[in-house]
């Protein structure tokens, strides 16, 4: 799982093996240690709700994605189109745009005949 942060945008990109794990009910986790200063952890799982959600603290996040939307996205692979969610903040300028996608190069390699 790869995380990319740019202002109020968080992009989460996974590969086909990670997608298979998610679809089978698993949770993905990544941890980054920033030298000796601090670490952050992020977990990703599917839930039965209709919306994405972010929970946790500054050093430990959990992202919940709607199972139905992720399964529909998986059925369209390979595609460059990902899923987009708006996670409300305290004010309009605090809304976090969450982008979720599956690595299209990995999808093409696995899903297209050689």
pLDDT, tens digit, for every residue of 16-26?
A: 999 999 999 99
Q: For residues 108 and 97, what is the distance between their CA atoms, to the nearest angstrom?
A: 26
Q: Which domains, and CATH codes, for the chain?
A: 2-111 (3.30.1360)
Please name the residue ranges forming H helices in the chain.
16-23, 67-75, 104-111
**Per-state percent for the chain, helix, strand, coil, to nearest 5:** 25, 45, 30
pLDDT, tens digit, for every residue of 57-101?
A: 999 999 999 999 999 999 999 888 999 999 998 887 899 999 999
pLDDT, tens digit, for every residue of 8-17?
A: 999 999 999 9
pTM given for the model: 0.88
**Residue 103 pLDDT greater than 70, yes or no:** yes
**Residue 114 pLDDT greater than 60, yes or no:** no
**In the structure encoding, which two tokens stand for residue 37, read together?**
């200063």
């Amino acid at each position: 799982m790869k995380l990319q942060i740019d202002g109020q945008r968080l992009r989460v990109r996974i590969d086909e093996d990670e997608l298979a794990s998610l679809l089978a009910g698993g949770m993905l986790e990544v941890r980054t240690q920033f030298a000796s200063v601090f670490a952050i952890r992020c977990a990703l799982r599917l839930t039965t709700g209709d919306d994405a959600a972010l929970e946790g603290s500054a050093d430990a996040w959990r992202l919940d994605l709607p199972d139905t939307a992720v399964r529909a996205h998986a059925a369209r692979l390979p595609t460059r189109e990902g899923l987009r969610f708006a996670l409300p903040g305290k004010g309009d300028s605090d809304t976090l745009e969450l982008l979720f996608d599956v690595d299209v190069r990995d999808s093409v390699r696995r899903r297209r005949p050689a």
